[in-house]
Amino acid sequence: MNLFSDRQCVIASYIIVFIALICIIPLHLLSSFFAGFLIYEIIRSLNSIIDRYTKSNKTKIISSIVLSLLIVSILILGLTSLINFVLHDLQGSGLTAFSNQIDKTLASIQQEIAHYLPSYIPDDVSDTKDNIVDFLKDNIETLRHAGTDLLHNIATALIGLIVGILVSMQTRSKENEPAFKTAMFDRVTYLATSFRNVVFAQIKISLINTVLFIIFAFILLPIFHVTLPFIKTLTILTFIFGLIPIAGNLISNSLIVIAGLTISLPVSTACLVYLVLIHKLEYFINAQIIGTKINAKAWEVLLAMLIFEAVFGMGGLIAAPIFYAYLKLELKQAKMI
């Protein structure tokens, strides 16, 4: 005897998934969510290729284990190589010379801004540095929490990787499957589809951002005999931050403008103008990529990000495109839109 009807089971699955998604960010499990679904989608995509050549469950399990170990090894190797590369680039560029250039640039900018905002500008560069040090001292607890949060995110991401690997090894039998189990599988499948669509669309967008930056930094600026400091590191950071919708571009753009500022104010202005122009172009490209993947207009995604950021902070800003894509997919499957 079934206690609940099929309709009640479906409604229960909606409620459970909704509560789970709402709790992910407050419980600081967003990194685990991303890591788990990312490894799951990668393994599932590779397994779909293997399925063309074999139908044996044993072979599929073995291939999943091998793929999991291979992917995790590549991720670890890639992360360590990236860190070593960035550190080598920073050391090779000469941090002392870089710091001296910043001092000179700040001094020149200070003289110009002082004409308009004399009450808000420190007397010299050393005063500015002292103010920064005082600010860091006043917010030392915040910095400590940031370090703790980073370790927590790394630990939960590793757990998410393990869970994603284990789930990818599971085989589903639809024979005599209870209604609630079927409904939960549908919810998770739609969520995984939304995750894949948004994440891989964002990877394309980040690649476009990186290519445009390479054209500007490695081709256009050298024509005028200008070379940005830490140019290789900036290229990598442009791609990494580009994976974060909207906010990532703001962060990477700020770093590029600051790098231009260490050379001169005109170079920094040129960087800013170029970034503004290419982002006008990217607006249409991004809308096309995201809209094609999740059937949403750019303003819909921006509105969802605004609301989620207001409710959940930066985590909500990152998760909003995925959650909104999932919501639209569920509404579409229910024929409500």
Q: What is the mean pLDDT of residues 100-129?
A: 58
Is pLDDT at 108 greater than 70 in this prediction? Answer: no
The reported pLDDT for the residue numbered 191 is: 93
Which residues span the domain enclosing 109?
6-170+179-333
Band of the pLDDT at 266, cuts 50, 70, 90?
confident
Q: Which residue stretches of 262-297 are H helix?
A: 265-294
Question: Is 277 a member of any domain?
Answer: yes
Is pLDDT at 115 greater than 70 in this prediction? Answer: no
The reported pLDDT for the residue numbered 15 is: 94
The reported pLDDT for the residue numbered 14 is: 93
Degrees to nearest 5, angle at CA 49 with 44 and 54: 105
Question: Is 1 a member of any domain?
Answer: no
Q: What is the mean pLDDT of residues 177-205?
A: 88
Q: Is 227 helix (H, G, I), strand (E, B) or coil?
A: coil
Question: pLDDT tens digits for 217-237?
Answer: 888 888 888 888 778 888 888
Using alpha carbons only, how large is the chain's radius of gyration in Å?
24
Whether 80 contacts 59, CB under 8 Å: no
50 CB-side CA count, 13 A = 18
Q: What is the mean pLDDT of residues 48-63?
A: 70
Number of Cβ within 10 Å of residue 208's Cβ equals 17
pTM of the complete model = 0.73
What is the count of structural domains for the chain?
1
Degrees to nearest 5, angle at CA 248 with 282 and 89: 105
Highest-scoring range by mean pLDDT, 14-23, 118-127, 143-152, 171-180: 14-23
Q: What is the mean pLDDT of residues 75-80?
A: 72
Question: Cα 176 vs. chain centroid, distance in angstroms?
Answer: 40
CA 147, CA 6: separation in Å to the nearest integer? 47
CA 29, CA 36: separation in Å to the nearest integer? 10
The reported pLDDT for the residue numbered 18 is: 93
Question: Cα 160 vs. chain centroid, distance in angstroms?
Answer: 16
Question: Is 269 a member of any domain?
Answer: yes
CA 203, CA 209: separation in Å to the nearest integer? 10
Is pLDDT at 29 greater than 80 in this prediction? Answer: yes
The reported pLDDT for the residue numbered 101 is: 57
CA 204, CA 227: separation in Å to the nearest integer? 27
Run of H or E including 239: helix 231-242
- Residue, of 240 and 244, whose pLDDT is higher: 240
The reported pLDDT for the residue numbered 114 is: 60
